[in-house]
Structure 1
């Protein structure tokens, strides 16, 4: 472990209410908030911005920032759209996307080299989480920052009983113009349309964003699209994912979100959602991973 005060590239920075790890490497700049283990910036020297952060993002305790890669855990979205084994276990605090994104995580280790930086953060069950969700656990989030961005989220069940959870790496991607984006990889995959009474449909050809889109795609999918400068590729080990853009009207209702921001962002979220939720026996582990590259 490299203590933060002896780090060559990393330092601790306070922005409004939140402490963040700031990374200044010869290849890239990055920022990770300890609240929620939320990566909010990854800007490569040659390849530009990898993730989108709202220009009106607020660094406040108890709320997730709009942008970057929020961690949704131990449930995704609104609670009543999760399997009963998840929704019936929750005791309180039934806000969307669970509690991990508003908890303060602990820095476990930093490794550095001329090639990149890895940062590992940890969240363990505590009196606050047990009042919401009655299980003991450890969450480890591992960030590998180099010429690509890779995130692994590992859940370890420390309870004496099994539990079920859903999750997502809620990745906001920077795009040049949403009207020109054509997303490949999902052809002939089934998706659930959250905007059409949760009906199951089949994707035909590329995904195009010409209106509000909120879909859960089923199956392992490697996504790709052109962002106006580079070809962007997103790969994960999950069998469910979300494609989301709020478009015009929804943008006017969102917090920390300028009304025209839908033009330059796109969410592709690697996860374990709906019937793809994970059940862990006592002392089992599961890892959700995502890698973002630009060609």
Structure 2
């Protein structure tokens, strides 16, 4: 288990510190006039982002496990280098090993009112499941301020890489049964609940268990009238948008969700299923999510 005393850090600017997070896991805390945020080194996992004047934008499970090798429930997990069980359903770890590996904080700097954190990961230093490519490296740049910008760059090793990826954002909402997601109308999606292919008609209003992978490369917006705000999700280098909420029965099967399921909706910037990415030897690919909050 990594403790804060064992972490090697770059020089940290004012407003940025290394703290002992839940379960004793080390985390980078940001507290400035512009923003409050937190990122765990395990998984480079953003668990909190609240711009000045706004309430918390990300949902974090009150019963999440915070332990070495255990995925944190909520915030923005990094799903890579595959999504779910993989395209063929045969991967040994759900959503890949990026989200439980220990990342290194390579640099931290102030840029006006923003804080920019750069994390790095090498497969050679991580616990990669047997049989999976380990000569993979990644850089994750987290910019927090009035907006949250997440830029994930994955670079293949000498053998190349066929990969999927997702920034599995859990957004805090007043009640998922009352929100709608704009920007998906007319886009085809794979419904993983009904195992079917459909086309979205109008705005998406969640009315039951939802697990959809949309062919979608544009902006999606969560409209939450109960909280009086819109959460706008823009992206680059992404051809899939995933929308997920387990609903009551499925949530009851998860100790780290339970009856808290109405409090979030996942709208994920991704490349998944048919939109997997093929990288040649030592080739990089970058996917970017930019999130902002607007008042209704």
TM-score scaled to structure 1, two decimals? 0.91
CA positional deviation for 1:224: 1.0
**Contact 1:83/1:274 (8 A) holds in 2:** no
Q: Does 1:33 align with 2:40?
A: yes
Q: Determine the C-alpha separation between the residues in 1 that align with 2:12 and 2:69.
A: 30
Q: Does 1:262 align with 2:261?
A: yes
Structure 1 stretches lacking a partner, 5+ long: none
**Contact 1:130/1:136 (8 A) holds in 2:** no
User: In the superposition, relative to structure 1, how do residues 204 and 34 fare at CA in structure 2: closer, same or farther (>3 Å)?
Assistant: same
* Residue-pair matches, total: 281
Q: Determine the C-alpha separation between the residues in 2 that align with 1:252 and 1:26.
A: 39
**Contact 2:11/2:107 (8 A) holds in 1:** no
**Contact 1:156/1:284 (8 A) holds in 2:** yes
Q: Determine the C-alpha separation between the residues in 2 that align with 1:188 and 1:226.
A: 18
User: In the superposition, relative to structure 1, how do residues 229 and 132 fare at CA in structure 2: closer, same or farther (>3 Å)?
Assistant: farther
Structure 2 stretches lacking a partner, 5+ long: 1-8
Which one of 121, 124, 132 corresponds to residue 122 of structure 2?
124
Comparing 60-69 and 225-234, the one that deviates more: 225-234
**Contact 1:19/1:34 (8 A) holds in 2:** yes
CA RMSD of aligned residues (A): 1.6
TM-score scaled to structure 2, two decimals? 0.90
Q: Does 1:101 align with 2:99?
A: yes
User: In the superposition, relative to structure 1, how do residues 196 and 9 fare at CA in structure 2: closer, same or farther (>3 Å)?
Assistant: same
Quote the residue 2:204 is aligned against: 207
CA positional deviation for 1:114: 4.2
Quote the residue 1:19 is aligned against: 26
**Contact 1:5/1:11 (8 A) holds in 2:** no
**Contact 2:11/2:108 (8 A) holds in 1:** no
Q: Determine the C-alpha separation between the residues in 1 that align with 2:70 and 2:147.
A: 28
Q: Determine the C-alpha separation between the residues in 1 that align with 2:129 and 2:177.
A: 44
CA positional deviation for 1:83: 5.0
Q: Does 1:155 align with 2:154?
A: yes
